[in-house]
Amino acid sequence: MSPSDATMKHFYNREDLRVLYAAYGILRGKNYSEIENHYPDKGHPLNDHPFPLRIERVLKEHKFLNEED
């Protein structure tokens, strides 16, 4: 794997994990500033596009999986 491919893969994996961690925090009843406490609630980076859409997609998938059980 080339260094540039490895860098991009790392970036995308890091964002995916951040979205999963945010969705987990929301399922536990926390807000964004409690999930990532080094940012204030107002102007939190997870409110920026495309994070809300990606988090919502994970939450919908989780709800779908729980309904099958």
- The confidence score (pLDDT) of residue 22 equals 92
Domain that holds residue 43: 3-68
Output the CA angle 56-27-31, nearest 5 degrees.
85
Number of domains in the chain: 1
- Going residue by residue through the chain, which has 69 residues, state the pLDDT in tens, using 9 for 90 and above: 999 999 999 999 999 999 999 999 998 999 888 988 887 778 888 888 888 999 999 999 887 666 655
Q: How far apart are CA 55 and CA 5, in angstroms?
A: 25
pTM of the model: 0.79
| Amino acid 40: pLDDT | 79
